[in-house]
């Protein structure tokens, strides 16, 4: 007779938690998952999916302008209706919530509604009911952080941005990560007068420096007021809107202030400390290479571990956990050469090392870089330029970094990520015939490295 109610009890039904639950159940485990908000977690509800829908909406304005400027289309009077986009997005998210419910049920996973807390290494409590499990998995994700300053309660985060009652005329976006950049471009594309502030000298810290510089130039050229080494010191409510006081002493009156200055691991008040689970200073759950905490029966995956905070990484970690626990196949998540995209306008795609990282790791590297005006823009007066960059380890000839800023960067990078993961060399790239005319062919036609 089983000693516990379940083989695995999962706290959090986001991307990682649902994937780990389903795959574990499919391998014969008795699984339950608890969730106190919404199925699908951040990605489905207030992250990747609704954000990408907003990105599509924001891009139509440029498409219509290009069509009339250079391609012979007569575009009549146009207008944008925020409630239509917002409500259609919400309807799609609700549909996805239902699909996640079906996926769990079809896999035989028990869905427990409510907030779960850990009582001891094998027991969780949900709304006064206790459940025991051989293993407990924490997959509670992350949550937006707004720093402390006078009036910070007047700011919203990306969570609230998806449900605004009305679209602001003037918006202030604070932050320099991908979420801040994406929302600045989304709001601008929807017709909002946007100012973006970042406290550092250049946004998108951690990305390749050429990518960061190039994107900042492109964003400014589109009309976003992008200011570096500037921050907010206070917010004050006005009769209409909000007044922001900045570090340079100036003030700015806007209709909406959105802070995207970081997310913290959602680990508080889960009973982790009482169970003896070690946390990092930022609240992240410390795990080993197999996602196991210092308490042998408690595991953690996804953003709550603050490793690589991307949905596909959480999915991968969930699969590895199921294999490790229930398939007699210990798998350590592979966090090398993870591709990523920033859905800015223009978007960014990247995989592998930045130039700075490569110079630190290898004795000698070659860098190939190209900047050009895409064919589409040659019939318009659009000044947008695409950037492509390859980084090669001279000793092995392997392409160790690939970066792009330009249309469809995310789609293009996904394909090249396979090559990078397989260890493709610059000779392999050179031997590959390009698809003409495309922007992507530039990656296989660059022959001359830039001066080191």
Which residues are catalytically annotated?
Answer: 436
What interhelical angle do 15-26 and 82-107 show, nearest 10? 20
Q: How many CB atoms lie within 10 A of CB 376?
A: 16
Q: How far apart are CA 55 and CA 163, in angstroms?
A: 15
The conformation of residue 281, written as its DSSP 8-state character, comes to T
Are 302 and 284 in contact, with CB atoms under 8 Å apart?
A: no
Q: Which residues, other chains included, contact 360 with Cβ-Cβ below 8 Å and sequence gap of 6+?
A: none
Cβ-count burial of 285 within 10 angstroms (0-12 exposed, 13-18 middle, 19+ buried)? buried
Q: What sign results for the dihedral spanned by CA atoms 174, 180, 186, 188?
A: positive
Are 31 and 7 in contact, with CB atoms under 8 Å apart?
A: yes
The conformation of residue 425, written as its DSSP 8-state character, comes to B
The conformation of residue 71, written as its DSSP 8-state character, comes to S
Are 118 and 272 in contact, with CB atoms under 8 Å apart?
A: yes
Are 444 and 429 in contact, with CB atoms under 8 Å apart?
A: yes
> Is the backbone peptide bond immediately before 169 cis, with ω within 30 degrees of 0?
no
Are 247 and 233 in contact, with CB atoms under 8 Å apart?
A: yes
Q: How many CB atoms lie within 10 A of CB 71?
A: 10
Output helix, strand, coil percentages for the chain, rounded to the nearest 5.
35, 25, 40
The conformation of residue 377, written as its DSSP 8-state character, comes to G
């Amino acid at each position: 007779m089983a000693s516990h109610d379940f083989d695995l009890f999962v706290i959090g039904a986001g991307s990682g938690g649902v994937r780990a639950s389903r795959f574990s159940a499919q391998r014969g485990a008795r699984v339950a998952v608890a969730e106190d908000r919404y199925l699908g977690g951040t990605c489905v509800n207030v992250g990747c999916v609704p954000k990408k829908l907003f990105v599509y909406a924001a891009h139509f304005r440029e498409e219509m302008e290009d069509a009339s400027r250079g391609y012979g289309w007569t575009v009549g009077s146009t207008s944008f209706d925020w409630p239509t986009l917002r409500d259609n997005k919400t309807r799609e998210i609700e549909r996805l919530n239902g699909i996640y419910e079906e996926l769990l049920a079809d896999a035989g996973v028990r869905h427990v509604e409510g907030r779960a807390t850990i009582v001891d290494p094998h027991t969780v409590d949900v709304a006064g009911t206790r459940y025991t499990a051989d293993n407990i998995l924490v997959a509670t994700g992350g949550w937006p952080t707004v720093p402390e300053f006078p009036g910070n309660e007047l700011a919203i985060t990306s969570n609230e941005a998806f449900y605004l009652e009305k679209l602001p005329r003037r918006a202030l976006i604070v932050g320099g990560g991908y979420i801040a950049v994406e929302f600045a471009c989304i709001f601008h594309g929807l017709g909002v007068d946007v100012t973006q502030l970042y406290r550092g000298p250049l946004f998108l810290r951690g990305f390749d420096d050429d990518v960061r510089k190039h994107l900042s130039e492109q964003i400014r050229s589109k009309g976003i007021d992008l200011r570096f080494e500037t921050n907010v010191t206070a917010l004050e409510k006005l009769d209409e809107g909000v007044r922001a006081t900045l570090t340079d002493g100036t003030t700015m009156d806007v209709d909406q202030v959105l802070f995207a200055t970081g997310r913290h691991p959602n680990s508080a008040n889960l009973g982790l400390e009482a169970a003896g689970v070690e946390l990092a200073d930022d609240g992240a759950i410390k795990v080993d290479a197999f996602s196991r905490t210092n308490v042998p029966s408690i595991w953690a995956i996804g953003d709550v571990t603050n490793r690589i905070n991307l949905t596909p990484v959480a999915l991968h970690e969930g699969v590895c956990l199921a294999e490790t626990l229930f398939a007699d196949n210990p798998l350590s998540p592979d966090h090398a050469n993870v591709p990523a995209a920033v859905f800015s306008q223009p978007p960014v795609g990247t995989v592998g090392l930045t130039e700075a990282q490569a110079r630190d790791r290898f004795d000698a590297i070659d860098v190939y870089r190209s900047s050009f005006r895409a064919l589409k823009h040659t019939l318009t007066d659009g000044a947008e330029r695409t950037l492509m960059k390859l980084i090669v380890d001279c000793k092995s000839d392997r392409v160790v970094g690939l970066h792009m800023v330009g249309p469809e960067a995310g789609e293009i990078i996904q394909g090249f990520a396979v090559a990078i993961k397989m260890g493709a060399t610059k000779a392999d790239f050179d031997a590959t015939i390009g698809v003409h005319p495309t922007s992507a062919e530039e990656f296989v036609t660059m022959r001359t490295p830039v001066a080191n």
